[in-house]
Structure 1
Amino acid sequence: MSIRASLRRMCLCNPRQCFRHSDGSCFPVCGFAKQAFLAILPLGLWLIAFSCAQFVPSAWRPGISVDVLPALDELLFDNSLGLVCFAAVLVASGWLATRSHLSTLLVFVPLVLRGLRDLAAVPSTAGDILAFIPYGVLHYISPFLFALYLWWSAGAKIAIIFTQAIGTQNLLGVLTQLLFPTAAPWYNDMYGFAPADYSMPGSPGGLARVDKILGTHMYTSAFNNSPLVFGAMPSLHSGFAVLIMLFAMHMSRRQGSVLMIYVCWQWWATMYLRHHYMVDLFVGGFYSSVTYMVARRYLVRAAGNYPGATDYKLLDVMLGDLRDMKSESLNDQGLWENTILKSRRAGDRDSLKTASLEGVVVEA
C-alpha cells in the first residue's frame, strides 16, 4: 500500500488513532496535532466561557452576593472558635482523603491566610511593586513557563496532563463564578454592602496605584472592561499557584517546598490589592487540590522520566495493569522480582517494598 493510500486511512471510530501508516503507526504530524489538541482543548473552553460571560443576559443570571464572603471570612478566620473548628475539619478531611500524617499540616492553612491578610492591611509603594509582580505578571506567564519546563524535564505527556488539569480547573472556576457571583473586596471598599448589578464596571483595586507608578492605564482599562466582574470566588490566582505547586511537588518535594513561598506570595498579593477574601483563596486552592488528585492517576500512568517518577506507583494502577506486569516480569518460578509497590498520599513517600508474589495466579 502506498504512503498516500495509507494516509487516507482515517479511523473515525477510534479516537486513539488518526491518519495511520500501513503498519498501523500514527503519522507523526497528526500525532503532534492530536497531542496539541488534547492539551489546549480545556484551556480553549475556559477562555471561551470567560470571554462570553458578558453576553449572558442579566435576567438569566443569579443575584450578586456582596456580604457572604466577608461573613465567611469573619466566621472561619477571624472568630477564634470558628478558626479552630475550621482547622480541625481541614485536618480530618485531609486524613480521610489521603490517609497521610502530612494532612496535619493543613492546620496551618487558615493561620497562614489570616497572617498574610494582616500583613496586607497597610498599603505602601514598596508593597504595590511586591504585589504587582506575582499578581500582574507571574500569574499570567507561570502556567506556560511551567508547562514548558514539564515538557523539557518530564516529557510531553506530563505537560499535556498539566495543561488539561489547569484548563479544567479554570473552566470549573468560571462556571462557579457564573452560578454564584460574588463581589470582591474592592466593591465593599467603594460601595459598602449596597446591592450590586451587572451593569457596574469592574475595578483594578490596588492595581490602580501600580498604574500610577508605571504611568499607564493598562490594569485600569483591563479590569473596567472585564467580562466577569463579579467572580471573586474561587480565586483563580490562588488556583494557578496551588496547582503549579502540587505538580512541582509531584516532580520533586524540594521544588514543591520552594513553590510554597510563591503560593504565599500570591495569596498576600491578592489580598493586598483588594481582589480576594481569604475564603476565595482557600476555595481556589481546594479546586486545585481536587484537580490534582484526579490528575495524579494519569501522571502515574504517564510514567515520565523525572526524578520522582518511581515514587508514584499507586497500588490501584499496578493492580489494573496486572496482566501486563505478569507477561513482562513473571519468571519461570512464578515470582515477580524487583516489583516495586510504591504509594504516595499527599506528599508522603513510603519506603520501597520489594514484593514476592509467589502463588498469585492471574488468568490470561
Structure 2
Amino acid sequence: MIVMGMPSFPYKLIIPLLYMLVLSLPITSQLFLPAAPILLWLLLFYSCRFIDVSARPHIWVSVLPTLETIWYGANISDILTRFGHPFLDVLAWIPYGVVHFMAPFIVAAFIFVYAPEGSVKVFANSFGFMNLMGVIVQIAFPCAPPWYELREGLSPANYGMRGSPAGLARIDAIFGGFGYTIAFSSAPVVFGAFPSLHAATATCEALFLSYFFPVKFHLGPWRFDARILYWSYCFWLYWSTMYLMHHYLIDLVAGGCLATFSFYFFRTEEVRDAMERREALMEQAEREESGEPEEEVFSLEEAPFRHSSNNATSTHAASSANQPAQARSHGNAISEMPQEPLERDPIFTLEEGDAESPNHEPSQKNGNLSSMSSTFQGQGLTRPAVASSYR
C-alpha cells in the first residue's frame, strides 16, 4: 500500500476500507477471511512494479542456465523448445494459459463442498502464503527466464526491459489476437523465473486433491485412480512452462518444493484427524465391496484356549468337555502344576526314565506324575487319553 503508485492517495485507502466492510458482514466474511493470504499476494504482485529501481537487487542472467547444465547435464528447456508445432503450441497453451487460472477456484469449490470442515481455510492459507513467499523470492532474487537468453543472450538485464509472451505469441498468431502479448509486456514482475509459481500452483492443487479426494473408480474391467489424473495435469503443466520458454527445469523443482512445504506446514491436526477417520471408512467400504471376510474376534469365553488370571495354566476346553468327569478332574490337577517347556511330553518321559537325560534329576514332581499315571492305568485309562487331557 505504501509503494503503490496507482491508485494514488487517498483513493488507495478505499482498498482496506472495503476489505473491512466485507469482513463485518457474516456472509461475505466466510469467503474473504480465508482469502486474506491470497489477496495479500495479489496486492504485493501488483505493487512490486512501483518499487524504486535503486532499491532493487541485481538481475541474474546466467545463474539458472548454468545451474541447470551442472545439475541435469543439459539445458532441458532449450532442448524442449527445439521441436515446435502448432499442435504442441495449443497443447501447451491449454494448461498454462487457460486451466492454470481456473483450477484454483474449482479446487477450492470442491474442497468447500466435499472436504471436512475447515479444509478450505487450510487450502487458502497454503495457496496464498505459497504465492506470497514465491513473489518475495522473485523480488529479492530476480532471474531472467529462458526467453531472455534466446532474445538477448547473456547480456546484462535492467528493470526498464519489458516482458515477453515467448511461446504464447504463437497462440496470439493462431487465434488472431494480442491478449498474451499485451499481458506479458506489461507484467509487474518481468524477471520472476525462480521459483515457478505455475509449477507451485499445479503441485499444490495436486497435493490437496490427492489428499482429500483419492477417488478410485471402475470403468468396465479397468480400475482407475483419480490421483493419476491430478498428477498428469501437474506434469503436463511442467512441460508446457519449459516448452513455452518461460521457465527452466530448476524453476519447476523450486516451485514444487515450495508447494510441498506449504501443504505440510499449514495442514492442521483437525483436518488430519478427520481425514484419518474418513480413510478408515473408505477402507471398510472397499472390503465390503470386494467381499472380503471380516476378521473374527474371539472373547475369552469363545477362545479355543482359556487362560487363568495368573497366565500360568491352560486347558483345552473342547477336549476336556468330552472326557469323563473323573478323568477331567485328574487332568485339571495335572494342569495346575507348574509346566516345564513342552519340548518332550512329561508323561511319556516317565517311560524312558530319568537316567536317560544327563541334565535331568529325579524330583518329587516326577514321582507325583508316576503315581498319577499308575492311577489312570488302574482306572482303565490309557496314556494317550491322559496326554490328550494334558495338552
Structure 1 residue matching 2:154: 3-state secondary structure: coil
1:296 aligns with 2:296: no
Letter in 2 for 1:64: I
Q: What is the RMSD of the two structures over their aligned residues, measured on CA atoms?
A: 2.5
**Aligned position for 1:51:** 46
**Gapped regions of structure 2 (runs ≥ 5):** 1-23, 215-224, 283-391
Paired letter, 1:261:
S
Contact 1:251–1:308 (Cα < 8 Å) also in 2: no
Q: Distance in 1 between matches of 2:202 and 2:280?
A: 22
1:139 paired residue among 96, 100, 109: 100
Secondary structure at the counterpart of residue 167 of structure 1: helix
CA contact (8 A) 1:64 1:196 kept: yes
* Segment of structure 1 superposing worse, 123-132 or 297-306: 297-306
**Residue 131 of structure 2: aligned partner:** 170
Which one of the candidate residues 37, 58, 76 is aligned to 2:71? 76
Amino acid at match of 1:263: C
- State the AA in 2 paired with 1:172: M
Q: Of 166, 170, 182, which residue of structure 2 is paired with 1:221?
A: 182
Q: 5 Å matches for 1:328-343?
A: none
Residues 199 and 119 (structure 1), Cα distance of their counterparts in 2 relative to 1, 3 Å cut = closer
The 3 A distance-change label for structure 1 pair 121 and 163 is farther
CA distance in 2, matches of 1:306, 1:131: 39
Name the structure 1 match of 2:377: none
Which moves more between the two structures, 37-46 or 192-201?
Answer: 37-46
**1:117 positional shift:** 7.2
1:282 aligned residue: 253
- 2:141 counterpart residue number: 180
Aligned equivalent of 1:326: none
Distance 1:263 1:245 in 2: 7
Q: In the alignment, does 2:199 pair up with 1:238?
A: yes
**1:118 to 1:193, Cα distance in 2 relative to 1, 3 A:** closer
Alpha carbons 1:154, 1:305 under 8 Å: kept? no
User: Could you say which residue in structure 2 is the equivalent of 1:358?
Assistant: none
Distance 1:129 1:306 in 2: 43
Amino acid at match of 1:53: C
Is contact 2:48–2:188 with CA below 8 Å preserved after alignment? yes
Deviation at 1:149, TM superposition (A): 1.0
Structure 1 residues not aligned, in runs of 5+: 1-28, 80-112, 312-364
Deviation (angstroms), 1:298? 4.8
Counterpart residue identity of residue 182, structure 1: C
What is the Cα deviation at residue 193 of structure 1?
0.4
Q: Give CA deviations for 1:281-311 in whole Å, capped at 9, x if unaligned.
A: 0000000000011122356357369954879
1:1-364 correspondence to structure 2 within 5 Å:
30-78=25-73, 118-155=79-116, 157-253=118-214, 254-298=225-269, 300=271, 303=274, 307-308=278-279
- 1:160 deviates by 2.1
**Contact preservation (8 Å) 1:131, 1:269:** yes
Contact 1:211/1:220 (<8 A) preserved: yes
Please give the alpha-carbon distance, in whole angstroms, between the structure 2 residues aligned to 1:197 and 1:275.
18
Distance 2:280 2:144 in 1: 42
Q: Contact conserved, 1:252 with 1:307, CA < 8 A, in 2?
A: no
Identity of aligned residues (%): 38
Find the aligned partners of 1:267 and 1:292 in 2 and give their Cα distance: 19
* Mapped contact 1:66–1:183 kept (Cα < 8 A): yes
1:75 Cα offset (Å): 1.1
Distance 1:292 1:310, change over 3 A: farther
- Take 1:65 and 1:306, find their aligned partners in 2: how far apart are those partners? 49
Post-superposition offset of 1:164? 1.8
Give the equivalent residue in structure 2 for 1:332. Answer: none
Q: For the residues of structure 2 that align with 1:283 and 1:186, how far apart are their CA atoms?
A: 19
How far apart are the structure 2 equivalents of 1:309 and 1:230?
47
SS of the residue corresponding to residue 39 of structure 1 reads coil
Per-residue CA distance 1:137-159 (angstroms, 9 max, x = gap)? 01101000110111121155212
Q: C-alpha separation between the residues in 1 aligned to 2:264 and 2:72?
A: 26
Q: Which amino acid aligns with 1:69?
A: L
Conserved in 2, the CA contact under 8 Å of 1:161 and 1:298? no
Q: From the superposition, tell whether residues 245 and 221 of structure 1 become closer, same or farther in structure 2 (CA, over 3 Å).
A: same
Whether contact under 8 Å (2:81, 2:245) holds in the other structure is: no
8 Å CA contact 1:303–1:309 kept in 2: the answer is no
Q: Secondary structure at the match of 2:206?
A: helix
Q: Give the TM-score normalised by the residue count of structure 2.
A: 0.60
Distance of aligned partners of 1:158 and 1:72 in 2 relative to their CA distance in 1, 3 Å threshold: same
Output the TM-score relative to the length of structure 1.
0.64
- Structure 1 Cα separation of the partners of residues 35 and 280 of structure 2: 24
Give me the whole-angstrom Cα distance separating, in 1, the residues matched to 2:276 and 2:25: 24
AA at the equivalent of 2:138: Q
